[in-house]
Amino acid sequence: MSEIRADLRYAASHEWARLEADGTVTVGISDHAQEALGDVVFIELPAVGKQLSAGQEAGVVESVKAASDIYAPLGGEVVAVNETLGDSPEAVNGDPYGSWFFKLKPSDPAELEKLLDAGAYQAALDAEG
Amino acid sequence: MGQRTPLYDLHLALGAKLVDFNGWDMPLHYGSQVDEHHQVRNDCGVFDVSHMTIIDVEGTGAEAFLRYLLANDVARLDTPGKALYSTLLNDHGGVLDDLVVYRLAHGYRLVVNAATRARDLAWLEARSEGFEVRWRERDDLAMLAIQGPKARARSVELVSSSRASLIDGLQPFQGFADGDWFIARTGYTGEDGVEIILPAGEAAGFFNELVGAGIAPIGLGARDTLRLEAGLNLYGQDLDEHVSPLSASLEWSIAWTPAERDFVGRAALEAQRQAGDLPKRVGLVLEERGVLRAHQVVRINGIGEGEITSGSFSPTLGKSIALARVPAATGERAEVEIRGKWYPVRVVRPAFVRHGKPLI
């Protein structure tokens, strides 16, 4: 059973998003996503300064098994990326909610409200089977 | 729902993540594929490989039949207990399957791939005319592979004394029966170990004993990265009916002599060898971060293009490796396209790790 944190928002494509006090949004992948991917061995992050729209490809997670795209859960400019994932991509398996991928300065903060809350994400996972 | 081995319930109880593998529900891993990989390289682990197809071949014409059917020559198995690897070819010299054949006290035992089971059985039927031979699929048996540097030492502690002394005395590529068990020093990981074929009803109990004694269960995910590091082909990825064994580093497994032995595919292989224009199999190593995957394009400057047939992350080397089929003239450097970008790769002999040691 994978962990879903109540204080986060989720995209149906299994990214989590957290609104920070400074108005930026931190993005990572859910516990369910890391479990489905298996051992993560490489992460390709977006460039700082890149403008992303909601649902746009933002990077790639490579596990031993396969490569999976990660998507921007909402639109905005990439203001920071988690460089430590370059040397220790496996941290995503151990601590998916601590291992953030990138931070966005949202172009429309209201987009955050369109993402799934914990209950709706759980329902989406249940529906996936 | 797929087919299940006799160990299905045990896999679930051990927390396996199950995946469909050619119609079988098989364990991909029991937690971490990478940890399981290291476990086999450094210590030992046990795999359920009961999905593989076991075929016992008997009859006064069994030897003649297999000498006609297989590219390797079973006449080399001059005493019971010996085993060899062979390809099964079509008339065009394409690989229909690859297999291990063991010489039993009476007849031969073939272990073939699960995915090719039906086609192999049909092929045996189609090619057996004129031979005094019969065969039987042994779906009453299960198969476990115990692999790793400590595999033999650990497993002798858990079997009867006669089986323990059998395991102690085995040379590589030897296998003998003990009662209704068959134990061979073969495997698919590049490490020492044994494969044990035993009655389906005894498999779960024995597997459980092995796990209870600290021999970790290992999924097919680690089996794939272990065999890739060892440079072993996987049928369906590195080999198929359109690939010649000459393009797959398998020339060693073709018994050209005696010249008068006619085997299926021989004429085609001889013509290919004469022409000398086949692509070759190489290993690739990515020095940068990223992961090589099957079907990525390999570009060799000034020579041409090839394709990755198997690629993954190598847990032992900490970087990505691949097997690829490329033009014969390919030298030491190439480039691979990953998501629209070209990455430089090193071209090496296609064996990366053996007996726990990096070869590259």
Contact B291 A38 (CB under 8 A): no
pLDDT band at B241 (very low <50, low <70, confident <90, very high): very high
Residue A19 lies in a domain: yes
Contact B114, B91 (CB under 8 A): no
pLDDT band at B1 (very low <50, low <70, confident <90, very high): confident
Average pLDDT estimate for B288-308: 96
User: What are the φ and ψ backbone dihedral angles of B210, each rounded to 5 degrees?
Assistant: -60, -45
Mutate to test the interface with A, among B1, B312, B316 (most CBs of A within 10 A): B312
Residue A1 has pLDDT above 80, yes or no: no
pLDDT, position A107: 97
Smallest CA–CA distance, residue B267 to chain A, in Å, is 39
How many domains does chain A divide into?
A: 1
Contact A64 B289 (CB under 8 A): no
What is the distance between the alpha carbons of residues A15 and A37, in angstroms, rounded to a whole number? Answer: 13
Average pLDDT estimate for A78-82: 98
pLDDT, position B10: 98
CA distance readout (Å), A117 to A24, A54, A127, B256: 18, 17, 15, 67
pLDDT in tens, B147-192: 999 999 999 999 999 999 999 999 999 999 999 999 999 999 999 9
Of all residues in chain A, the one with the smallest CA distance to B29 is: A38
CA distance readout (Å), B55 to B109, B135, B166, B186, B197: 6, 7, 23, 17, 12
Candidate from B29, B221, B291 with C-beta closest to A41: B291
* Chain B environment of A38 (Cβ under 8 Å): 17, 28-29, 32-33, 221
Contact B225 A90 (CB under 8 A): no
CA distance readout (Å), A115 to A1, A26, A78, B287: 22, 14, 18, 39
Residue A129 lies in a domain: no
Of all residues in chain B, the one with the smallest CA distance to A89 is: B289
Q: Helix H segments across chain B?
A: 8-13, 33-42, 62-69, 117-127, 151-156, 161-169, 200-212, 220-229, 266-275
pLDDT band at A4 (very low <50, low <70, confident <90, very high): very high
Q: Does A67 touch chain B (CB under 8 A)?
A: yes
Note whether ipTM > 0.85 here: yes
pLDDT, position A128: 83
The more confidently predicted of residues B113 and B277 is B113
CA distance readout (Å), B102 to A73, B108, B123, B312: 56, 6, 19, 31
Q: Tell me, what DSSP letter sits at residue B44?
A: -
Residue A26 lies in a domain: yes
Q: Report the CATH number that the domain containing residue A20 is assigned in CATH.
A: 2.40.50.100
Task: Give ∠ CA B267-B269-B275 in degrees, rounded to 5.
Answer: 105
Contact B28 A86 (CB under 8 A): no
| Helix B220-229 / helix B33-42 crossing angle, nearest 10 deg | 50
Task: Name which of B315, B319, B322 is nearest B293 in CA terms.
Answer: B322
What is the distance between the alpha carbons of residues A11 and A120, in angstroms, rounded to a whole number? Answer: 10
Contact A47, A78 (CB under 8 A): yes
Contact B33 A42 (CB under 8 A): no
Residue A3 lies in a domain: no
Q: Looking at chain A from residue 77 to 96, which residues have their Cβ under 8 Å from any Cβ of chain B? A: 86, 90, 93
Of all residues in chain A, the one with the smallest CA distance to B225 is: A64
pLDDT in tens, A31-57: 999 999 999 999 999 999 999 999 999
Residue A2 lies in a domain: no
Both tokens of B260, joined, read 């008068």
Residue A4 lies in a domain: no
| Helix B117-127 / helix B62-69 crossing angle, nearest 10 deg | 110
pLDDT in tens, B60-110: 999 999 999 999 999 999 999 999 999 999 999 999 999 999 999 999 999
pLDDT, position B314: 97
Residue B32 has pLDDT above 90, yes or no: yes
Residue A1 lies in a domain: no
Both tokens of B262, joined, read 């006619």
Of all residues in chain B, the one with the smallest CA distance to A64 is: B313
Contact B291 A62 (CB under 8 A): yes
pLDDT band at A18 (very low <50, low <70, confident <90, very high): very high
- Residues of B within an 8 Å Cβ radius of A: 17, 28-29, 32-34, 221, 225, 289-291, 293, 312-313, 315, 320, 339
Contact B176, B183 (CB under 8 A): yes
Q: What stretch of H or E contains A29?
A: strand A25-29
Q: What percent of chain B has pLDDT over 70?
A: 100
pLDDT band at A125 (very low <50, low <70, confident <90, very high): very high
Of all residues in chain B, the one with the smallest CA distance to A93 is: B32
Q: Looking at chain A from residue 24 to 43, which residues have their Cβ under 8 Å from any Cβ of chain B? A: 38-39, 41-42
pLDDT, position B118: 97
Residue A28 has pLDDT above 90, yes or no: yes
Contact A65 B33 (CB under 8 A): yes
Residue B258 has pLDDT above 80, yes or no: yes
Q: What is the DSSP string of B261-292?
A: ---TTHHHHHHHHHH----EEEEEEE-SSS--
**What is the count of residue pairs from A and B with beta carbons less than 8 Å apart?**
40
The parent domain of residue A78 ranges over 9-124
What is the distance between the alpha carbons of residues B83 and B151, in angstroms, rounded to a whole number? Answer: 19
CA distance readout (Å), B187 to B196, B226, B242, B309, B344: 10, 11, 26, 21, 33
Candidate from B28, B32, B289 with C-beta closest to A86: B289
In sequence order, which residues have a C-beta less than 8 Å from that of residue B280 and are 6 or more positions away? B247, B249, B325, B326, B327, B328, B330
Of all residues in chain A, the one with the smallest CA distance to B312 is: A64
What is the distance between the alpha carbons of residues A92 and A27, in angstroms, rounded to a whole number? Answer: 12
Q: Does A68 touch chain B (CB under 8 A)?
A: no
Q: What is the pTM of this model?
A: 0.94
Both tokens of A15, joined, read 């990214």
